[in-house]
Amino acid sequence: RTAYDCAPQRFRAQFLCALNSLMVSQATRNDGCVHESWKAAFAGFPELALWRSFLDALREWAWSPREGAAERREGKSSSWAL
């Protein structure tokens, strides 16, 4: 944890992304279950919970249907397009 705290912020973000990817890949491989040792990682890095909630919100926003999406798919341009 000390090395994480002393690292530049961009490297901390990369570390959290890598740690999250490892956790997700292990959960996928084991039918949604992760090893007991991941609890220590969650306890040591509370930022992981914030990162996971951000990714979930981003995924929900990106995949939710938006107003006017049907017209764009049909080839109609929007009212502001020239």
| pLDDT tens string 23-78 | 888 888 888 888 888 878 888 898 888 988 999 999 998 888 777 665 555 666 66
**Residue 28: predicted pLDDT:** 87
**Residue 43: predicted pLDDT:** 84
How far, in whole angstroms, is CA 6 from its chain's centroid? 23
Contacts of 49 (CB under 8 A, 6+ apart): 42
